[in-house]
Each structure stands twice: as C-alpha cells, then as structure tokens.
Amino acid sequence: MTNFLQKKFRYTYFHATAIITVINILVYILTSINKAYTFYFALNPSAVIDLHMYWQLFTCTFIHHNIKHLFFNMFGFLMFGMYVEKSIGSKEFLLYFFICGIFSNALSLLVYVLTGYWNVFLMGASGIVFSILFAFAVIFPTVKVFLFGIIPIPAPVLVLLYTVIEIFSQVFGINSNVAHMTHLFGFLSAWLYFVIRFGINPVKIWKNALKH
C-alpha cells in the first residue's frame, strides 16, 4: 500500500518554471524601486525569531541582491527546472520547490542562530537551484552537462563536484558573501525528498548510471 507521503498527483504541466521565473523578475523590479521590501522579505534571523516574520523562510527565495545574482540563478533554474518539471509534472514540481526551498532556508536559519549570526540577510534562489540540479541529476543520470559551456560532465558528477566546492568554500571562507551552506542544504533537502517522497535512493541510481 502506498504511503500517504508518496501519494502521487495527477500529471499536469502548466509551465510553473517560467511562471516562477517571471515572479522572481517582477519581485526584483519591485525591490529595486523600494529597497525596504528587500529587508522585509529577505531572511533575517532576528526578524524571524524576535518579530515572528516566518514568511521570510519562503520569500527570501525570491529576493536577489543585484541583476547578476538574479540572472545566474534564473538561468540555472530555467535550464534544469524545465526538464525536471516536464518529467514529474507541474504540481509535483511546485511541491518540490516549496519544500526544498523552505527546508534549506530553515536549516540555514538554524545555523545562523546557533553561530550567533543575527544580522545576516539571506536572499536568492540558489538553494532551490541546487535542489533542482540534484533532481535533474537523479532523473537524467546519464545526461552530460557542459561546464562553462565546453566541458561535458555527467550530471551526477556535477552534483558531486559542486558539493566538494561548496564544502571547501564554506570551510575556508571563500566568497564569504555567498551562502555556501544554503547550497549544501539544497542538495540535502533534495536527497531527503527523493528518499521520502519518491522512495528513491539517488546514490544507487547514480552508481548504476555511471557503470554504463
């Protein structure tokens, strides 16, 4: 009997990836007009804990620091998200987006609180982009992604490569303004989603794919 956590949606496709991208662009325009919105919707530990602004656990995903930050996040989101959405359906994709986004942000908040970083502002969709990349690598484990547009790398290897880079960057403080741990939490939330929701072990899929 199927676990209620694994109950499937009826397949539908309504371009959720494109819709989310447009929302991100509109929010960026809004925050460019009025910077106050950035501080209201970006994730700040003091605001969440002391002022109970819990919506920041989700809204910070749509806030970006500058146009470069927005462009690269949306480029990765669209590039991998469209394939993931078409594969699992738009409803499942949205559930994945919400759960992985909130979970990775919540873990980041926990780390900030435990380490005393109360004045930091977490913003950007990079955590969920890493979750989307993870999903792409599980669903299409034999597909090669062109790193820097020229180096073909199997999608699972790209996930491993990014994991190593993010851990190294977090430990040694490289690009300290980048939320490396949120990227790692994006991978973690994605892995848990596949195990719990789909009953799939990504590691087994990758091992089998890389053998052939």
Q: Which of 76, 188, 183 is nearest to 136 (CA)?
A: 76
In a domain, 90, yes or no: yes
In a domain, 149, yes or no: yes
Which residue range is the domain that position 81 belongs to? 14-211
In a domain, 206, yes or no: yes
In a domain, 26, yes or no: yes
Model confidence pLDDT, tens digit, residues 47-81: 999 999 999 999 999 999 899 999 999 999 999 99
Mean pLDDT of 36-42: 93
In a domain, 9, yes or no: no
Number of domains in the chain: 1
Question: CA–CA separation, 201 vs 209, rounded Å?
Answer: 13
In a domain, 2, yes or no: no
In a domain, 1, yes or no: no
Q: Which of 170, 200, 197 is nearest to 183 (CA)?
A: 170
Mean pLDDT of 110-137: 93
Q: Is the pLDDT of residue 192 over 90?
A: yes
Q: What is the pLDDT at residue 106?
A: 96
In a domain, 8, yes or no: no
Task: Supply the CATH number for residue 31's domain.
Answer: 1.20.1540.10
Question: CA–CA separation, 103 vs 96, rounded Å?
Answer: 10
| Residue recorded with tokens 């919540």 | 106
For the full predicted model, state whether its pTM sits above 0.85: yes
| pLDDT-wise least confident of 55-69, 93-107, 141-155 | 141-155
Q: Which of 192, 8, 19 is nearest to 100 (CA)?
A: 192
